[in-house]
Structure 1
Amino acid sequence: MKIHLRQIALGFCMTLLLGGCSSPAVVQYADQKPELDLSQFFSGTIHAYGIFTDRSGEVKKRFTVLIQSNWEVVQGKKVGTLDESFEYSDGTTQKRIWRLTETAPGQFTGTADDVVGVAKGESAGNALHWAYTLALPVDGTTYHVQFDDWMYLVTPKVMLNKAKMSKFGIELGEVTLSFYKP
């Protein structure tokens, strides 16, 4: 009888732990305004300001990003290019060029040279949720880390971004960004 109760208690605890790890569903933001139109917000020049914090919350890097973006219709689908130029507080720079495709209303895929496979995104209301794996170079070694990336349009000119980084399900840190469209 004791073993049976332990198994039930363990199962209950595992259910609570796993439930605590799940992300909210993007659809819960469907009624939030202003409504995010990805191709409208990421059109032209956008400035972004961000930090990377480790899992203890300590700021490890500060950076700015200049984004030049445009969209076109290819075979009936919206396709966007986001050309991102990063400048870090230590003086280093980085370039990333995203190619985004709206595969269905509110559904997106994305690729970039340092993204492993294809990023998948979904938007509703003022929110966008991305999930992808990034090849992250650190001290001469490249690590594949998973990003759980959420963006929220606050005003037509300001969007906030919070992305959790993990490897093997262990949280490594978080990237926080604010995007500003002049």
Structure 2
Amino acid sequence: MKFVIVCCVLVLLSACQSSVQSDEYQNMNPEIDVFRFFDGQVNAWGIVQNRSGELVQRFKVSIDGFVNAQGKLVLDETFTYGVGDGVKHRVWTIEKRGDGFTGRASDIATPAVGTVYGNALRWQYEMDLPVDESTYRVVFDDWMWAFDKCTLMNRSYIKKFGLVMAEVTIFMQSNEATQGCKGALHP
């Protein structure tokens, strides 16, 4: 009986969570162009909040991106933390797949799958996330939105058992933006 009650509570809690609807972004501009945006230097900054809204990480990311000889996008990411701690370095290899992308990185447990919806990209994968002395298999549900050709905003929902356990907010600007993109949003 306790098992049934717990399952019902989990279903009700997951139903109460907000979710992003992909069709809302299908006709929005500017259309996101992942390979163009990340080809070069990108600077990013963000935060991680736990399910209570408490700030657990504040970080900056320096991303060096390039398209290799096989036509794959390589993102070499270096992280620094102002609050909390986490991964210091990650290298993604991303390739085009139909209307979206697939990607891999050494600390990502499953291939990431990305789908483009107009000005948005949904990026999903599983990761073994170290927390204190334990490691948890979690699902990342990332949404990126193009503000303009030089600025992206990323909102990630970190889920366990279908429940959002933490949220990540990241802003990214391509090096092109620091040199003065016309119409670019600047922090």
TM tier relative to shorter chain: 0.7 to 0.9
Contact 1:151 1:162 (C-alpha < 8 Å) held by counterparts: yes
Among 136, 139, 143, the residue aligned to 1:146: 139
Contact 1:26 1:122 (C-alpha < 8 Å) held by counterparts: no
Shift, 1:103, TM fit: 1.0
Separation in 2, partners of 1:124, 1:72: 25
Moved over 3 A (4+): 16-25, 90-93
1:151-170 equivalent positions in 2, closer than 5 A: 151-170=144-163
Contact 2:123 2:143 (C-alpha < 8 Å) held by counterparts: yes
Separation in 2, partners of 1:91, 1:54: 12
Structure 2 stretches lacking a partner, 5+ long: 1-10, 176-187
Q: When you count strand as a share of all residues, which structure comes out higher?
A: 1
**1:85 partnered with 2:78:** yes
Amino acid at match of 2:91: I
Partner residue in 1 for 2:96: 102
- Helix, strand or coil for the counterpart of 2:24? helix
TM-score, L = length of structure 2: 0.80
Separation in 2, partners of 1:22, 1:121: 20
TM-score, L = length of structure 1: 0.82
Shift, 1:124, TM fit: 2.1
Among 87, 110, 125, the residue aligned to 1:132: 125
- Helix, strand or coil for the counterpart of 1:40? helix
Structure 1 stretches lacking a partner, 5+ long: 1-13
Separation in 2, partners of 1:49, 1:18: 29
Shift, 1:141, TM fit: 2.4
Identity %: 38
In terms of Rg, which structure is larger? 1
